[in-house]
Amino acid sequence: MSETVKYLLDESRMPKYWYNLVADLPKPPPPVLHPGTLQPIGPDDLSPLFPMSLIMQEVSAEREIEIPEPVRSIYRQWRPSPLYRARRLEKALDTPARIYYKYEGVSPAGSHKPNTAVAQAFYNKEAGISRISTETGAGQWGSSLAFAGALFGIEVHVFMVRVSYQQKPYRRALMETYGARCVASPSEETASGREVLARRPDHPGSLGIAISEAVEIAAQRDDTNYALGSVLNHVLLHQTVTGLEALAQMEMADDYPDVVVGCAGGGSNFAGIAFPFIGAQLRGGPKVRAVAVEPAACPTLTRGRYAYDFGDTAHLTPLVKMHTLGSTFTAPGFHAGGLRYHGMAPLVSHVEKLGLIEARAYHQTRCFEAGVQFARVEGILPAPESNHAVRAAIDEALRCKEEGVSRAILLNLSGHGHFDMQAYMDYFAGKLSDQNYDEAELAMALAGLPSVAEV
């Protein structure tokens, strides 16, 4: 192993640090603004919701942030996660491309999300917090935080988007098995939930509403904090453990990716795999194309506006500058529930503006087609979200075939789809359709963006 890679890893080949891309960027990301004053916020403004250690990570420009030993000792249960060469997929596609996938489905919750859930639970425990409230869409984040909460003896209170609460009883059962309390959102337990229900008693819920409920609960009680499973800088930071491992594993494979691919909901698994490679490029290393793939029915990066917006529907969160479809935007129903958020991580949005990444949107049936093709040769059944990355990687490999060139493609297989079999059944029954979002609704949601005079 080269010295650079050796210094990244401990004796069990796990990274010792998370990597902060902000340290290597040519331009710092725009500040986060207070929702009332519209002035940049300070660390104290966030302290009702997060422990100071996470707030300091949120605003840090330090390149390396040490992973605490208690977090590393839990990571070791499934980390380093495997990096596979998809030789049978390459053969099936008859492509000269070298396809590699980093498999995050080996975590106890089945996705990349425990990488940050464990870290967040640790820092909250250290700060004396006994309860964490959060939101979840399809249930991946809720089950990851429930798992982490169980390990650290923290109570976890999950607001689950109502339509998923009804459609995904097994994810809910998993959260409850870990000891979390899970309620359908909008709920009667918060003012923001009651307000939505008064207007529309059968409201199916949205991530924006569930965030409002979870934030409201956390802001009211000293013993309760809030946790978010994507979007924020510290979440992206924790996910870089995947990209750092991949850097070392690619070196062991004696290769280096030309293209790095990840699906993008809030942007955390994409950032996790891509940022360490982008950072290496910015420090003079090889150039990589980093491709973020989103659903065409919720196309934040490709169709959203880069503007200051709220993270939630009730406008309780600070304002962040990001690619957004507007906080009132509700995506049509499609199966990759983890990709339905109206915004994109500010840091992913910023690097897109800097021209360091590419974005692409796909409809769901072509993604499922790719996921099934992948499962039939590689054996692993990807989550509906991960299918977006598989689709893009296959398309890149087919382009290599057309052009007669061999490129190395690395994709983040963010999770398995064992809890999403209904989606696969619908696909096989021909019941999946490619819905488009409502243009008029998007226009209205964008017209409702807060007006912020930028300096």
Nearer to ligand PLP, 21 or 400 (CB): 21
Q: Which helix (H) or strand (E) holds 212?
A: helix 207-220
Out of 268, 300, 349, 364, which residue is the one contacting ligand PLP (CB under 6 A)? 268
- Using CB under 6 A as the binding criterion, the count of chain residues that bind ligand PLP stands at 20
**From its phi and psi, is residue 55 left (phi > 0), alpha (psi between -120 and 50) or beta?**
alpha
Out of 15, 204, 326, 338, which residue is the one contacting ligand PLP (CB under 6 A)? 338
| Inter-residue contact 310 to 317 (CB < 8 Å) | yes
**From its phi and psi, is residue 284 left (phi > 0), alpha (psi between -120 and 50) or beta?**
left
Out of 117, 214, 247, 263, which residue is the one contacting ligand PLP (CB under 6 A)? 263
- Binding flags for ligand PLP, 221-240, as an x/- string (CB under 6 A): ---------x----------
| Inter-residue contact 367 to 336 (CB < 8 Å) | yes
Strand order in the sheet with 155-161: 181-185, 155-161, 131-136, 224-226
Q: Which residue is nearest to ligand PLP (CB)?
A: 415
Q: Does residue 339 belong to the site contacting ligand PLP (CB under 6 A)?
A: yes
Nearer to ligand PLP, 133 or 268 (CB): 268
3-state secondary structure of 333: coil
The residues that bridge with 292 in the sheet, in sequence order, are 262, 359
User: Counting Cβ atoms within 10 Å, is residue 162 exposed (0-12), middle (13-18) or buried (19+)?
Assistant: buried
Nearer to ligand PLP, 46 or 145 (CB): 145
Q: Which helix (H) or strand (E) holds 66?
A: strand 64-66
Applying the rule CB under 6 A, the residues between 410 and 429 that interact with ligand PLP are: 414-415
Nearer to ligand PLP, 279 or 415 (CB): 415
- Dihedral through CA 32, CA 34, CA 38, CA 41, nearest 10? -60
Applying the rule CB under 6 A, the residues between 113 and 142 that interact with ligand PLP are: 113, 140-141
Q: Does residue 311 belong to the site contacting ligand PLP (CB under 6 A)?
A: no
Out of 120, 269, 300, 327, which residue is the one contacting ligand PLP (CB under 6 A)? 269
- Binding flags for ligand PLP, 15-54, as an x/- string (CB under 6 A): ----------------------------------------
The residues that bridge with 199 in the sheet, in sequence order, are none
Out of 149, 266, 304, 371, which residue is the one contacting ligand PLP (CB under 6 A)? 266
3-state secondary structure of 224: strand
Distance, CA of 389 to CA of 366 (rounded, Å): 11
Where do we find the tokens 């490999």?
Answer: 397
Nearer to ligand PLP, 293 or 397 (CB): 293
Applying the rule CB under 6 A, the residues between 366 and 385 that interact with ligand PLP are: 383, 385
Distance, CA of 140 to CA of 170 (rounded, Å): 11
- Binding flags for ligand PLP, 385-404, as an x/- string (CB under 6 A): xx------------------
Instruction: Using CB under 6 A, list all residues that contact ligand PLP.
Output: 111, 113, 140-141, 230, 263-270, 338-339, 383, 385-386, 414-415
